[in-house]
Amino acid sequence: MKYIDEYRERTAVESLSKEIFSAAKKPWSIMEICGGQTHSILKYDLEDLLPKEISLIHGPGCPVCVTPIELIDKAINIASKEDTIFTSFGDMLRVPGSKEDLLSIKAKGASVRIVYSPLDALKTAEQNRDHNVVFFAVGFETTAPANAMSIIEAKRRGLKNFSVLCSNVLIPPAIEALLESGKSRIQALLAAGHVCTVMGYEEYIPIAEKFKIPIVVTGFEPADILQGIFCAVKQLEEGRYNVENQYKRAVRREGNPAAINLLNKVFERSDRKWRGIGLIPKSGYKIRDEYSEFDAEEVFQTEDSTAEESQICIAGLVLQGIKKPVDCTAFGKHCIPEHPLGAPMVSSEGACSAYFRYKRSFG
Amino acid sequence: MSNIDAMIAILKENNFMCLAVPGKIVSVDESNPDLRMAKVNFGGIEKDVCIQWIDDVQIGDYVLVHVGFALNKIDQKEAEKTLEILKKALPKISTKGKAFKT
C-alpha cells in the first residue's frame, strides 16, 4: 500500500542501519513511547539492525495497558446491568479486572459488543433505543477526538440512551513523570507519531529543554523508526537536545487544530491513575460538566473501588521501561495472550504481547 | 465455532488502537456539515471515514485513518522528501558493520 510499502523497503532500512552504525560512538538508551512502535521493532527485528551500544527501552504507550484495574471493574459492573449494551474496542475485552474480564461476562450472557469506531457505538444506540448503550472510550490523544466526536454527535442526534465510560490519557505528563522519577535510563525519546498527528509537538519542547533529552517525533514503519533512532543518536553524539520531526508526512507542528478544538470543547484535563504506574497529575481527559448526561460514571453512579493486582505480574515495571517482558517469571508460562495476568500481554500495543508474538524463543 | 471462539478470532486479527492507516479518498459526502464523510480505499478495501477535521479534501488525497476518523492529510511533498533522503543515504554509506538477518 502507498505510504507503507516504501517505508518497509529493505534497502532503505539497511542503509539507515548502516548510518546508525557509523554515527553511534557511545552507548545510548532510547525509549520508544508508543506500543505500536514496540510492535514494529519486534516484528521487523530492528534491534538486530542496531549496534550493541544502542538499547531500546519500551515505553508506556499502550492505552489498554494503563487503563486502571478499577475502571475495568467499573466497565464489568456496568456491562453486567440489565438492558445495557456495552461496546468497546476489541483489545479491552481480555484485559483482566480484579476478578474477571469483559469477555467472561459476555460468556455469562452480558451484552458486550466489539466496535471498530465510536461511530459504530452511536449506531448501536440508535438501533437499540430501549437499551442503554455504553462506549468504553479508551485511548491516547490519537483516539480522544473520535471519542469526543461520539459525545457531540449523541447530543446533536438527541440520543438519551448513549453514554461514554471515559479513559483517555495524555502522553506528555506521563513522559514527564517517568523522566522525573529517574527510574529508567532514558537518554532520548521517540515520540508517538500518531499522538503528534493530532496534538502537534509544541508540548514536547519544554520537556526536551527541562530534561536535556532529544525527542524525535517518529512514525511506525521500519524505515521511520530507524530514521528516528538515527536522528536521536546524532543529537546525542553532538550533545544537542531538540525536538525533531521525522514523521513530517503526517505530523505538523500545530497538529490538527480542528481535532484539538473538539477535545477542548468536550474534555478537561484531570488527574489520572495509570495502571502499573500510579497517579499522574493532569494526565487524563474527563468529560466536561455540560456533557455529563453522556458520562457513564454519572449515568450509572458507579462507586469507586480499590482492587488488587496479580502478585507475580511485573507489568508496572515493564510499562515504565525498568524491566523487559522476558524478565518476568510468568512470561509465556502462566501469562499468555489467552490467559493474561497483565494488560500488556493482551493489547496489540502491549510490550509483553509483542515479545510473545515475535520473540517467544527468548522466554 | 462458538460465539466466544468467534470473538476471540476477531480479537486476534484486529489491532485497533494506535494504528492509523493511510488510505486514498475515493468519494466525499458533505451533505451533513456536522459529520462530513468520505469513502476511503485501503489497498482495495473501501471504508466510510469521517473527515470532519480535515479541510479542503480532494478525491485522490491520502489521509491517515484511525478508528473511522481521518486524523490528517498525508503531505505528499514531505513523504517524497523523506524517501529522497533515504535514497540519497545509500551511496555514501560504508559496508562495514554487522551482517543483517535475512
Residue A363, pLDDT score: 39
CB A216 within 8 A of CB A228: yes
CB A123 within 8 A of CB A154: no
Least confident range from A223-232, A260-269, A301-310, A350-359: namely A301-310
CB A147 within 8 A of CB A166: yes
**pLDDT tens, residue by residue, A284-321:** 999 999 999 999 999 998 887 888 888 889 999 999 99
Q: Work out the pLDDT band at B19, boundaries 50, 70, 90.
A: confident
CB A170 within 8 A of CB A285: yes
What's the 3-state SS for A210-264?
HHCCCEEEECCCHHHHHHHHHHHHHHHHHCCCCEEECCCCCCCCCCCHHHHHHHH
Residue A298, pLDDT score: 95
CATH class for the domain made up of A1-310: alpha beta
Rounded mean pLDDT of A80-99?
Answer: 94
**pLDDT tens, residue by residue, A6-30:** 888 888 898 899 999 999 999 999 9
- Whether the complex's predicted ipTM surpasses the cut of 0.90: yes
Q: Residue B4: is its pLDDT beyond 80?
A: no
Distance (Å, rounded) from C-alpha A41 to C-alpha B96? 23
Residue B89, pLDDT score: 61
Residues of chain A neighbouring B67 (CB-CB closer than 8 A): 89, 116-118, 139, 143, 146
Q: In a 10 Å sphere around its CB, with 0-12 CB exposed, 13-18 middle and 19+ buried, how is residue A356 labelled?
A: buried
A145 vs B12, B22, B69: nearest CB: B69
Question: Which of A13, A117, A261 is the best mutation test for B, with the most CBs of B within 10 A?
Answer: A117
Q: Residue A196: is its pLDDT beyond 80?
A: yes
CB A17 within 8 A of CB A50: yes
- Please list the residue range(s) of chain A that carry CATH number 3.40.50.11740: 1-310
Query: pLDDT over 70 for what percent of chain A?
Result: 99
Helical (H) or strand (E) element with B9: helix B3-13
Helical (H) or strand (E) element with B45: strand B45-50
Helical (H) or strand (E) element with A86: strand A84-88
A153 vs B35, B82, B87: nearest CB: B35
Rounded mean pLDDT of A40-62?
Answer: 93
Secondary structure letter of residue A336 according to DSSP: B
Residue B18, pLDDT score: 55
Least confident range from A136-140, A193-197, B87-91: namely B87-91
Average pLDDT, chain A: 94
Residue B11, pLDDT score: 43
Q: Does A341 touch chain B (CB under 8 A)?
A: no
CB A136 within 8 A of CB A87: yes
* Nearest chain B residue (CA) to A347: B15
Q: Which three cell numbers stand for residue A155?
A: 447530543
Residues of chain A neighbouring B74 (CB-CB closer than 8 A): 3, 249-250
Q: Work out the pLDDT band at A1, boundaries 50, 70, 90.
A: confident
Interface of A with B in 12-31 (CB under 8 A): 12, 14-19, 21-22
The pTM for the full model equals 0.91
Q: Work out the pLDDT band at A69, boundaries 50, 70, 90.
A: very high
